[in-house]
A and B are shown apart, each in its own frame.
Chain A
């Protein structure tokens, strides 16, 4: 409050006029989509293939809004004389988003990376019952899950990537071994890169490719 009478009134007018002269930052929502942070908690997606029906999510859910139904199927023994195995088959996986409080505990607790946050939020319904998303709808949300954040520059690759690369290498080695076994006489002695490229994979490939390995190393 300065001494000049009426200065407060003038300041009030100045503030409103200044606000008016500035462009409004309002986004016209249905026309302009909001810029959401990448990890926004919009809706929960289910990666059904990863789910083992362990029920951890349903048990940890504070709202009890996850419904899981399953049955067991008998998998016949792989080798003759071995024991038959049973597997959990997912029949129903539903999340009632009318109850969900978006705490994300189910996602944290899932040991198999079957649940993910996605930033989609436009799934309002006219009937509250329709807010219960069944398995198929939860699976469809998977397509909207953003890519995981990049790792630090010097950090090692995520485990999933390492495992996938190993599997790829293994497959490549198996294929290479298969091709060398058919044309081993021509390719193997002339190609100096062949042993070195096959070297890292040979540790895992040792057991399965035991038949082709001696042939590979034999001429060299």
Chain B
């Protein structure tokens, strides 16, 4: 009985994080991006510097009509946003925020996380295919191609961290972390973060959406709440990527002091910091062309991550 209650409480916390932190990141994107471009961003919603802008957006999306194109594959079309969103919610379950503070501690946590995150792309592909729209289809196929290219460096970089820690458990990796991982696993961290950004299809890797050439890619035909779910999945994706990078390469809950009591705070600070990096990259860099995108993955990130795996292995064997 207590375990059932415990599980329910943990899931509630996960759901709460799932609902609040992405909004925090979304608001940060609104304001940080605006100021980076010399603007103010939202200023009215909620009264103080537009803090309630995303709430207002949500209300607006909920009011809008949900249109399904006549030629669309209705069932798939309506299902796609949930397929895109739910994997990120599930991944949050296995991410530790403090020592022992994890909704479900899996021994193969990193394997589970990477496998589930990759499911999200199915939602995008479903949306692209079922929309009966050539722009949506091109966008969906581009998204699939992007996933294929960037999944490899992502997994290799994560494998490097797992090798360094000698475990597949996310909590285990965070426990094994120490400061000299920063130079040792630095390349893997950068590769993981960049490849993760590309998997999220965030600018500058937003070829699948590329609004100036293919309207909005897979999301072209979506309106109202379903569109909002896709947007939400993008922000939850940022949080998941930042959290995974934090746990794998930045020591998770490790902080300057009180790791056990304030672990969740250090995790949150790192996650928000990395989310800021994602936003910063979006503002600073123009969109990559499709061939440049593939080139970056296959000629830069894959060799770098392979090299990192070799370095990790050599150091592990030498120090063992």
Contacts and interface: CB of A to CB of B under 8 A. Distances in A.
Interface SS of chain A: helix
A25 B38 CA distance: 8
Interface string B276-292: 00001101110000000
B35 interface: yes
| Secondary structure of the B contact surface, majority rule | helix
Contacts of B283: 16
B35 A24 contact: yes
Contacts of B35: 19-20, 24
B284 A20 contact: no
A11 to B, nearest CB: 9
A15 B283 CA distance: 10
Contacts of A22: 38
A24 B39 contact: yes
A21 B283 CA distance: 14
A25 B35 CA distance: 10
A20 B40 contact: no
Contacts, number: 34
Nearest to B283: A16
A16 B38 CA distance: 9
Contacts of A9: 284-285
A22 B280 CA distance: 16
Contact of A15 (B32, B34, B43, B284): B284
Contacts of A16: 36-37, 280, 283-284
B286 to A, nearest CB: 9
The 10 closest A-B pairs by CB, nearest first: A12-B284, A16-B36, A20-B35, A20-B36, A16-B284, A26-B40, A16-B283, A13-B284, A24-B40, A19-B36
29 contacts: A9-B284, A9-B285, A12-B284, A13-B280, A13-B281, A13-B284, A15-B284, A16-B36, A16-B37, A16-B283, A16-B284, A17-B36, A19-B35, A19-B36, A19-B37, A19-B38, A20-B32, A20-B35, A20-B36, A22-B38, A24-B34, A24-B35, A24-B38, A24-B39, A25-B38, A26-B38, A26-B39, A26-B40, A28-B40
Interface of A: 9, 12-13, 15-17, 19-20, 22, 24-26, 28
